[in-house]
Amino acid sequence: MKFTAQQIAEILNGEIVGNAEVEVNSLAKIEEGKKGDLCFLANEKYTPHIYTTKASIIIVNLSFTTEKEIASTLIKVEDAYSSFSELLELYNKIQSNEAGISKKADIDENSSIGDTVFVGAFTSIDEDVTIGKNVKIYHNCYIGKNVAIGDNTIIYPNVSIYHNCIIGNNNIIHSGVVIGSDGFGFAPNAKNNYDKIHQIGNVILDDDVEVGANTTIDRATMGSTKIGKGVKLDNLIQIAHNVEIGNNTVIAAQVGVAGSSKIGKNCMIGGQTAVSGHLTIADEVKIAGQSGIASSIKEVGKIVQGPMAFDIRDFQRSYIIFKKLPDLYRTVNAIKKQIND
């Protein structure tokens, strides 16, 4: 699908500098732009590329001023980065405009399917499932009994959602995600082995949640594992049973959160962090990557780092000393030698 500079400027409420009728049909990075491409410039270090790119249209900030002639048509906007993000969202909707139910899908007659829903081949939808309007469920997915899926949610291939789970509106769930699998619940017995503790709760995802590929979210033992509105989970994350994550918290890849921990709103958790069970993390906490959280963080806005995480400034000071330990060791040995001599 082609768009003119005029059409894009109207979408973004932007100002055109150049040919308003020039057309684009694809998106590209500014350094790789060619005829027919739409690019953007938000980071100053990429400015030299605006004078060499072959892109047809470039979105720039209102503050941008040219130093020499530019062949491309410019669209000036308040914030080039957010405007380009808006266009990416529009482009994605156009690219993902599938509708209809595959003849190879297996849908129980007692399930309710909303308007303009897409269901791909070899997807299985069990009984008493409720699916809202404009939902897209791609190939090879499994939707268990009594699951509810809200409007405008996208579920990519090979996703499994177990029974009784609730998925909100405008969610994006990427390939390989498992929602509602059993929590890791076992009790030692007199025979020195383990009895399974059956997990009878569910998982609730609020609206506007995105779950990255191959992430797993376990069902609660009782009650619900809860993922708040606007939460963004990266790939390869493990969320254990009865965990609660507050609104608009973002978690990077390979994080593990153990059972019954409560994470506040607007937190940021770096990759490969481990959070122990039954902890509370306050709102707006930032945790650096590869940290270990073994005790609750009760201070709002606290920033921590480290294998046994503590205040990030103290950690950084300590690390400077740690790096100097070989020199300190040599100095101490030299002093000992002088004393002995």
**Domain range list for the chain:** 3-95, 100-315
Catalytic residue among 49, 139, 198, 241: 241
Gap between the terminal Cα atoms of the chain: 85
The pLDDT value given to residue 89: 84
The pLDDT value given to residue 312: 84
Select from 297, 324, 313 the least CA-distant residue to 305: 313
The pLDDT value given to residue 97: 75
d(C-alpha 79, C-alpha 61), whole Å: 6
Select from 253, 219, 249 the least CA-distant residue to 237: 253
The pLDDT value given to residue 285: 98
The pLDDT value given to residue 78: 95
The pLDDT value given to residue 88: 86
Q: Is 272 exposed, middle or buried (0-12, 13-18, 19+ CB in 10 A)?
A: middle
The pLDDT value given to residue 36: 95
d(C-alpha 5, C-alpha 284), whole Å: 40
* Coil, helix or strand at residue 196: strand
The pLDDT value given to residue 317: 87
What does the block give as tokens for 57? Answer: 């249209």
DSSP string of 291-315, one letter each residue? -EE-S-B-STT-EEETTTTEEHHHH
Select from 113, 99, 104 the least CA-distant residue to 141: 104
The pLDDT value given to residue 98: 80
- The answer to whether 174 is a known catalytic residue is no
CA torsion sign for 9, 15, 21, 23 is negative
Q: pLDDT averaged over consecutive 10-residue blocks of the chain (341 residues)?
A: 92 95 93 94 93 96 92 95 89 78 96 96 98 97 98 97 98 98 93 93 98 98 97 98 98 98 98 97 97 96 89 85 88 91 85
Whether CATH 3.40.1390.10 fits 3-95: yes
The third-level CATH classification (topology) of the domain covering 100-315 is UDP N-Acetylglucosamine Acyltransferase; domain 1 (2.160.10)
Question: pTM for this one?
Answer: 0.81
